[in-house]
Each structure stands twice: as structure tokens, then as C-alpha cells.
Amino acid sequence: MKNTTTLLNASHEEQGNFDYFSHQICINRYTQAHQTWIEDCLNDHSDFCGQEGINARDLKSLFVHEVTHFLDLTTTLWGLEYTARKSALLDKIHLGEDHEQALNVFMLNTSELEMHKALLVRDGESLAGCTMNHGLMIHPDYGPIIVVIYYRDGVECHKIPLSMLALFEAHATANEVLSKIRDIDQIPDENERIVAHAHVNQEFNEHLHDPALTEYTLLLNLAKLHFPELSLRELLVFFSALARFTMNQDALSLSILSDRMRFLPTEAGDALSLDMKRGTSRAVVAFKTLLFMHEWISKGTPMENSENINMLKTRPNKAIRQLWEDDNVKFMDAMAQIERNCYLGLLQNRRHDLPDFEIVSASIAANMALLENSPVGLLSLSDLTLMDAILNEDFTPIAMPKRLDIDAISYFDQFYPFMAKLKKLYQAKKASKFFITPGDSILFVNR
């Protein structure tokens, strides 16, 4: 999504990007001449009204999109696992040791991002009017996956893999739109507010039907289809809660949840369950929760259903946990904290020079409690402690309102050669992940 109204002729990747290897946010198509205006917008010092207000909230929502990626990587268990495995690989490279196993383990995470574009099949037709179904398959490189299929007049027209990228991008898109809604709510003129809210709703619906945006909208499309009772704001707040719930499941909880997913008793279904039991394929949690939540809010008495819908609207975190607890899932939150501490310990004891531990530990300390109570898009950027961004056009740093004590340009200069070596090594190997199918001998490797 990424604000197609901001840069009318820009593709979504052209507007900005987040680099998962380095935690760096890069924004395109702006230069040093825009620096003061950008920083004023990020500090909420810009006008909320008229064209200036439109420009400011488009810019802020672009930053919120990328900031969501940063926070997902630095404050969730999936993000900590990704960074710890990257760090273990960097140690091997730094010390000149054999790195093949460390690279394969790291690819368990990276492949779940890479697979989306590798397996995506789509035509150029709108998704409007399509029906949706899903199936399971085992891909030789990416293992067991769920594929969502769009049909038009009974003919298959789009096949979208359920990937971690789809979860990350849907979460970032949800917060991007919430950021606009938050800013529009501060417009003093009621008529202008009504018009602006209507425009955001229309824009969101148009994006849901754009075949070029499926990595951003696959899960949001599914959520909107199943929960027509929710306003756009309620839908996006619920989805943000669901995304972070999914990313923060510890390995034991994922194993327990996999037994409640009711996969078809096929080789692909059994393989997907096994994949979740070793802590991967966690995007399935978000997917299945959406489907089961739809049943949960409609299977009881009218009064029970009304109470569940109200809980979903007002306390989505509680509703999500209640859904699974009603299915006899017992969440042991202490296990998540143990895993979090384990990953932090691995990062702290690194043998390379990349400051992953400093970045992650500072983000957890400053941001995690805030994110337990609010989606990113409804917070002010000045509430969050973040790394400075960089404008790609002329390498201008953009100071975030509350910044980590890391100079963005010095950080880039110091670590770019190191990260370039890692990327070259990674890109030289075919993206894939090792996985288990029923009947395989199980080989345990260091995480």
C-alpha cells in the first residue's frame, strides 16, 4: 500500500523500505530540502487541515508503515529469533568458521519472507468480485504452505502464498491506515473530517482489490470479509492485535496451537503441523485465528454472540486469547519471557561488531509496554524510541522524535561492508528451508 496518493507514479517499493538485515528505514523521493518539513511532521508540528494536512498525514503514514517493520523485528519473538539467527551467522563469518549450518538455520526465517514473491501467481485483473478458497501444498524449496486462491467466474486467477511477508506487510498497512485515521480525527472542522474519513475508507477498499498489492492485503481482505460488523478502525486495531499475538507466540505455544488447527489429514497437513511444532510457519496462526474467530462470534446464543463481538471491537487482545482458551489452549507467558531472554543473551554475547543487542534491547525497554496497549498507528511517533531514518536520494538523516543513540550515517558507513558481505553470501544460495514430512527422521540442530 504505502501511500499511493503521496507519490502518484511511484511503485510501493520506490516510496520507502525497511532493511531487515540492518534494521534501517530508508525513504525515497525526498531530499535534504524536505528535512525540516519531514521532521516537523514526525513531531506532529504540521497542520492537520487542507492540502498541508493531507501531505503531512501521507508522509507520517509512510513512516508508520516502515516503523511497524522495525518494531515487529525488535520487539516480537519472531523478530528476536530472526536477529539472533542472523547474529549467529555473522559470528561464523566474522571468525572465518564454517557457516553452512548457521546459514541454513537463518534461512528458516528469511525463506518465509522470500517465498511470497517466488510463489506468487496473479493476473492483472482486479480482485473485486472474486471468491476465495485455500489449499495446502508441499513445495520442494519452501516446505508445507497454505495457498489462498482467488476465482473469477469459477476460473482460478490468483494464487497467493500465506507467508510471513504477507503478515508483516498487512500489519504495516493496518498501522499506516490507522495513522491517517488518527490524524484525521484531529481535524477541527467536522465536514472536513467526514470527507477525509470517507476518502480513507474508499482508498482502503480500492487497495484491497488491487492485484499488485496482494502481499499487503491478503490477510486484511480475509479479515474484512469475515468481520463486516467492524468499522475500518476496529478492523485494523483487531488485525494489529492479531499480528503481534502471532509474532509473539513461543515455541511451546505454537506446538500446542498446531494441534488445534484442524488441518486436513493429508501429507501436507501433517507436514504443516510438524513445521509449526518446531516454531515455523507461524503466519498460519493469524490465518486460522481469523477463520475460527468468525465461527466463535456466531456459534453461541444471541447474547453470547453480541458479547463476543463487543469484546472483539473493544478488547481485541482479550478476544483473541479467549477464543483459544475456549478451545482449551493454556498460554504459559513465562515461556515467552524465557525465550526472549535467551535470544537477548545470544545477541549480547555476539562476537561481531554489529550493535543488534543495543538496538533490540533499547527497543524492548522503551517500546514493548506501549505496544501491549495500542497499535503503532494510534500512537504518536514521539511516543516511540526509534532509529533515525535515511533519505536515499542524497543520504540525509532524518531524526526521529525520540531516537536511539545511534548516528544513522556513521552506522551505515561502519557496517555496510559487513552487511553487503552477508547479503552476497545469502543471495548466492538458493532461498529455501529444510522441513520435516511425516515419516522423516528428525535431526535436531542448534537454533
Query: Can you give the pLDDT of all 447 residues of the chain as single tens digits?
Result: 444 333 323 345 568 999 998 999 999 989 999 999 999 999 988 877 888 889 999 999 999 999 999 999 999 999 999 999 999 998 998 888 999 899 989 988 988 888 888 888 887 788 888 888 998 988 888 889 999 998 888 888 888 999 999 999 999 999 999 999 999 999 999 999 999 999 999 999 999 999 888 889 999 999 999 999 999 999 999 999 999 999 999 999 999 999 998 887 888 888 898 889 888 899 999 999 999 999 999 888 889 889 999 999 999 999 999 999 999 898 888 999 999 999 999 999 998 888 999 999 999 999 999 999 999 999 999 999 999 999 999 999 999 999 999 999 999 888 888 888 888 887 888 777 766 666 553 433 333
Q: Which of 115, 89, 95, 96 is nearest to 21 (CA)?
A: 89
Q: What single DSSP character describes residue 99? A: -
Spatial separation of the C-alpha atoms in residues 114 and 173, rounded to whole Å: 19
Which pLDDT belongs to residue 153? 85
The predicted structure's pLDDT at residue 390: 95
Q: Which pLDDT score, from 0 to 100, does residue 437 have?
A: 66
Please say whether the beta carbons of 95 and 102 come within 8 A.
no
Distance from chain centroid for Cα 392 = 23
Q: Which residues pair with 25 in a beta bridge?
A: 18
Q: Do 392 and 412 touch, CB atoms closer than 8 A?
A: no
**Helix 77-95 × helix 333-348 angle, to 10°:** 20
Of 346, 398, 356, 413, residue with least CA distance to 67? 398
- Give the whole-angstrom CA distance, residue 380 versus residue 377: 8
pTM of the predicted protein model:
0.93
How many CB atoms are located within 10 Å of the residue 291 CB?
14
**Helix 50-75 and helix 356-373, axial crossing angle in degrees, nearest 10:** 120
- In the prediction, which pLDDT does 36 show? 96
pLDDT at 5: 36
Sign of CA dihedral 395, 76, 215, 225: negative
Residue 93 confidence (pLDDT): 87
For residue 444, what pLDDT is reported? 33
Neighbouring C-beta atoms of residue 235, cutoff 10 Å:
24
Q: Comparing C-alpha atoms, which of 370, 440, 413, 399 is closest to residue 68?
A: 370
Q: What residues have CB less than 8 Å from 111, skipping those under 6 apart?
A: 141, 142, 431, 432, 433
Instruction: Name the helix (H) or strand (E) containing 266.
Output: none
Cα–Cα distance between 235 and 242 in angstroms, integer? 10
Grid coordinates given for 370: 506501549
